[in-house]
Amino acid sequence: MAELEYGGEKIIGPGRADDDVLRLEHISKRFGATQALRDVNVHLRKGEVLALLGDNGAGKSTLIKILSGFHKPDGGTMWLKGGAYTPKNVDDARRQGIDTVFQDLALVDELSVFHNLFLHRERLYSPLPFLNNRVMRREARKRLDEIGINIPSLDVPVARLSGGQRQAIAVARAIASESEIILLDEPLAAMGAKEGAMILDLIARLKAETSISMILILHNYAHVFASCDRVSLIQNGVVSFDRPTAETSPDELNEIVVEEYRRARAAAQGQLTS
């Protein structure tokens, strides 16, 4: 993996492995005046769990949304299993095997648990256009039992559920789609220790029992080192650090982040004094 230096800034160049399922090179994305991503290079190997770290506003969610087909990148190239990957929308990405748990979960508060689990994947009484609630309710129960999530009633609107239960439903929805790649944007946010452990167990099980590849956005280093094979750090819209978890340590990651704070503080003070 090439580490390039641009004006004192470290940027991880395009990397690759023979068993890559996904590869992103030179991805950039701007929202109005905000350059969210400048030159992002990421690759993901089959069955690998990649942790994506970065400060608030670093561009992690933006990257996930580009991968999930929600945003289009301004520049750069993406490959999925060797072929060019240009998802037209979220559905298209899902069809190609990439499913996402968004940071905001994409749940509809007013709808029931099972309608949320099947949102935009509804079962119908084909050929009639009517929703087959019975089948959806039954399958929802089965799925939630399988992954060990306890939700007393599938009929209550999800607005009634705890943060952890909501998170679990969003995760259950993504992993049910038989995708080969699952993107999870802060899947442990809003979770208590017990619920968080349940999701981490689930990720470990998926990793052990399937060949699903995952990108996880996490904040807690303990989680990163417990669950992930590799870690990439996004700073200022670029990936500035990329290493297998076996070859780095929480201390090293901390060091990098502290350094980032130091530079940000210096820059802020420079602005104040000038």
Partner 1 sequence: MESSTSPPASTGPSTPTTGPASRRSRAGAGLSPLKRFLTLREGSIVVVTIITFVYFAATTPHFLTGANFKTLLPYFAPFAIIAAGQVFVMTLGEIDLSIGAMYLWTPFLFWKLVTSAHFPLVLAVIVSLIVAALLGAVSGYLIAYIGIPSFVTTLGMLFVLDGVTLIVSHSEQVTTPGTSVTHVGTFASILGGGTYSELIWAIGIVIVLQALLSSTRWGLYTVAVGSNKIGSAEAGIHTKLVIVRNFMLCATTAGFVGLLEAIRTSTASPDPSGSNTVLLQAIAAVIIGGTLMTGGAGTVVGALIGALFLGILNDGLVIKGVNANYEDLYLGLAILIAMLVNIYIARVRKGAGRG
Ligand X SMILES: Nc1ncnc2c1ncn2[C@@H]1O[C@H](COP(=O)(O)OP(=O)(O)OP(=O)(O)O)[C@@H](O)[C@H]1O
Stretch of 95-103, 188-196, 197-205, 227-235 contacting Mg ion, by CB under 5 A = 95-103
Q: Rounded to whole angstroms, how far apart are CA atoms 235 and 55?
A: 7
To which H or E segment does residue 252 belong?
helix 250-273
Which candidate, 90, 41, 94, places its Cα nearest to that of 66? 90
Beta carbons of 82 and 66 less than 8 angstroms apart: no
Bridging pattern class, strands 181-185 and 75-80: unpaired
Q: Which is nearer to partner 1, 45 or 71 (CB)?
A: 71
Residue 61 binds Mg ion (CB under 5 A): yes
| Residue 94's binding partner out of Mg ion, ligand X, partner 1, none, with CB under 5 to 8 Å set by partner kind | partner 1
* Residue 57 binds ligand X, judged by CB under 6 A: yes
Q: By rule CB under 5 A, what string of x and - marks binding of each residue 156-195 to Mg ion? A: ----------------------------------------
Where does this chain touch partner 1 (CB under 8 A) — which range of 124-132, 189-197, 217-225, 266-274? Answer: 124-132
Q: Is 55 in the site for Mg ion (CB under 5 A)?
A: no
Distance CA 77, CA 274 (A): 40
Query: Between 111 and 226, whose beta carbon lies closer to partner 1?
Result: 111
Residue type, 45: R
Give the separation between CA 50 and CA 82, rounded to whole angstroms: 19
Partner in contact with 54, chosen from partner 1, Mg ion, ligand X, none, beta carbon below 5 to 8 Å by kind:
ligand X
Judged by CB under 6 A, the chain residues 78 through 117 that form the site for ligand X are 103
Amino acid at 28: S
Six-digit token pair at 80? 């999925």
Which positions touch ligand X (CB under 6 A)? 31, 34, 36, 54, 56-62, 103
